[in-house]
Structure 1
């Protein structure tokens, strides 16, 4: 049975290679005999059986063969063999370099115990004897028994002569060994920085766990990766995203150096997919870059017109700022990384320059404080909010929103940038952190929509897997990816398949001011689309996440699969006419 499935998938790949191997070379071509889906401006589903492409844009979509049979014979026509076509998918919140680093460093995502994590760290150290710092990510104490934070001495037992630095799965806490703390000068007298916390034992000695802005105390001592290595890592990671069906990514919080690397790649036409970058407000070169924005490449492959401000932390590390105590940690309400006045000072120049202001906010107090920030900014430029197309400022995550704050969220024309897989992976932890009585505004997608708030979707990779079909599945089902999934979590907040597709297509385009050129397969828009192996609108719910991408096209050109192993460019063109 397994062999048959493998053979069937291999044959499918061969067929797609056959039908796509010529398409990157034709200036005008048509793919017919497809099951095509796109959305209308009202998020209604529209089907088509043929897609007509001229240069890098969609020229037309056809619902019946009678509409395209009379096209000139000079136009390359390719039989789509019944495959499904969707608009290219956008991940509206990911971390490209973070994903690249995770894949080349210690990945602890699958570690289901502290012992398993330590064994993986030990093996990595053995395999990389010359690596100065041992860097990794992905541990989650909520998957361990007991569910307690690890400590520096745990790592010291594994290796003590090299510094170790391991970020938690959410990126809002890190675990260091004694060597790393010694290099950074961390001791019992080191004060907690504003917006951060050093966890300490009963004697006041640092345990090796650093929360949010306290991570900077150690992180600044880690040697920087060379710029040319970063650029190669960006290209490699973007191509991996293309393989998953992602044709555009919103890189949520980058340095000025990374912006420059993206610019160079765009100028050299080496970006495989589109990048919409947010400059991190905590970057060392933040202020120097503000006068340079916004920046657009002529082919719309790269855009920078937004900044990102971190307001609070994450639920898993109890850094998310809450109005009331954590249900499982009385006396703790999380951390705000900026006071309201500090935040306004930080983003005022970017706002006045017309840049989009995107704030990371997870807890209800974090979101409430972000709303106050936008209120204060709106008073300085009220015309912007009355404009037909307002600033489209975004709250990234919007995980726990007080229901009483949702009307203001709408009145300020804010976009909720959500990550559906967070709901399915966080469900048990979120209930522990909040308690059942405080879940009304938790991952509340339908409730936000009912308040007129536009939602866009991403994954927050590398916190979650980058596969967008995992996100679509989570949005539609609110269930984990398992053979026997538990019942939907807070099922009233599920999205329809059309609503879920909109998160990753036209809503994402709107959130990046790109709805006139991206997001749907309409005449005049870029021909960014994917070919997949199943019908997203007829398959069972539990099959959605298993969708395989057969080919990815950006601006009418195939970016994946990259190679043509069959050398059939000419013969395919002749057979397809």
Structure 2
């Protein structure tokens, strides 16, 4: 790194410059010392030099291509630190229920989609949220089954931790009133014991098994579709939380063929021990070009707060009959974490409720010990953290992988779930940061929009895009604009062991860049949401250019 930097600086002052693939000129480049007018020389997917405009003439002559950025603000490439790549692509193909204001609207959209399909074909959708409806209880499937009787219908809740199925889907899965709740899941039943159509956490897997599995071509199509949308948001890498065996096989084939548009940091799905054991035995692997990394595992301690699956230490304030769901037993999590650690893999565990967070930190303390700083274990979501657990993140070397958009989406109903005392423990990014914890930021796409501008806005203001509440929700937990940007860039790079070659704009680093029409970290926070993505660059190549159709 030092050698590359010295060569770059020396060459910039000379009459001749080394050959480079591209020179990005005319931009304001956000380097660690602050924004500067610099031109970016790129060769072999890396930043070769940062050149002051007054010294750029020889570099322009030596460049195979000169791109005029016309004053664009150039940032390190944004990273989606927690998303679901194939799931996002699938969601883009399915019935979109994100803003459905009622169950009746859900049914209408599904009926419209089913009319376009052959009889008997599955209708898949996702995004419904009963918290947006007048009746905030879980729905039943009566109206859905009546409206769409000749198609199995399976509709994922917005958080991905519950599903609504019609009678045809339940029959196709062979589920009856005699079917027991699976470990880590719950079949919602009526007073007579009959399934109502809602299946929470692991219970939704009973239905998933009845859906025809995607082919390799389906998976690749969804990866490419998701990558196109992510690139348009300025995202250059996604940390894929729970990559299953068929998906990893496709990603490897795409990478080998040069068809992987964005970088993918794989967190292995841990449900299949055969698959997991094979990957652990092979050891952590990062491709030479850094486009595909396999060095982490993903587990679930609990479910989601919206579906009352997050595991709390005391009953839900709005449903005292439950404390949530233990999706994976403590023994199973400890076993997988231990195996992963011995193989050199980073453990990443979904934990939303305070009891789940405590359990995960306990496991990291027991299973990793002093290796925590080396393996950089992650607590995915870390939404509700008891005061005594806040300092433990730094003590255990645990990274809090948080999704600011969840905060502003959940705030209308989260106080009802948690009550007045526990709500102060929720989405406590500033508390964690001030206690020495490391953070990285993402969205949990397709649960929320992957747009980093929305995530930065939520982290900085803790208000909805419409500006409510005016002072922000629990504003003491806000991040600064610079911190929120770091959460998508340099902090995200650290969370994926990439801080030596990604996450900053510097000679020798990957030429992963996000170009905006303004600086979202300066001035009025409204600039965050008003910023437009102009160009997204991965390994020196354009993967999105505004107005070009790319």
1:121 Cα offset (Å) = 0.8
Shift of 1:410: 1.3
**Does the aligned pair in 2 maintain the 1:480–1:486 contact within 8 Å?**
no
Match of 2:409 among 418, 422, 425: 425
> The residue matched to 2:501 in structure 1 has which SS?
coil
Structure-to-structure mapping, 1:97-496, within 5 angstroms: 97-130=86-119, 132-283=121-272, 285-379=275-369, 382=370, 384-385=371-372, 390-482=374-466, 486-496=470-480
CA distance change for structure 1 residues 180 and 28 in 2, over 3 Å: closer, same or farther? closer
Task: Give the Å deviation of 1:562.
Answer: 9.4
When residues 552 and 297 of structure 1 are mapped into structure 2, their CA distance, relative to the original with a 3 A threshold, is same
Summarize deviations over 1:344-379 as a string: whole Å, max 9, x none: 123322221010000000000010111111112125
Deviation, 1:129, is: 3.2
Unaligned runs of 5+ in 2: 1-18
TM, length-normalised to structure 2: 0.92
Deviation at 1:107, TM superposition (A): 1.0
Q: Does 1:30 align with 2:23?
A: yes
Note the C-alpha offset of 1:286: 2.9
8 Å CA contact 1:459, 1:465 repeated in 2? yes
Cα deviation per residue 1:466-504 (whole Å; 9 max; x = unaligned)? 111111111111111126764311111111111011000
Find out whether 1:502 has 2:486 as its counterpart.
yes
3-state SS of paired residue (2:411):
helix
TM-score between both structures, scaled by the size of structure 1: 0.88
CA distance in 2, matches of 1:175, 1:245: 33
Give SS of 2:324's match. coil
Distance 1:553 1:67 in 2: 24
Q: Distance in 1 between matches of 2:408 and 2:258?
A: 38
Q: Which shows bigger deviation, 275-284 or 313-322?
A: 275-284
Q: Per the alignment, in what secondary structure is the counterpart of residue 479 of structure 1?
A: coil
- Structure 1: stretches of 5+ with no match in the other structure: 1-25, 567-577
Verify the 8 A CA contact 2:88 2:222 in the aligned structure 1: no
Deviates more, 1:452-461 or 1:50-59: 50-59
C-alpha separation between the residues in 1 aligned to 2:515 and 2:391? 39
CA displacement at 1:69 relative to structure 2: 4.8
How much has 1:209 moved relative to structure 2? 0.8
Question: 1:36 offset after TM fit, Å?
Answer: 1.8
Q: CA 1:188/1:78 → structure 2, altered by over 3 Å: closer, same or farther? A: closer
* DSSP-derived class of the 1:150 partner: coil
Deviations for 1:199-236, whole angstroms, at most 9, x for unmatched residues? 11111111111111111111111110111221122122
Q: What's the secondary structure of 1:318's corresponding residue?
A: coil
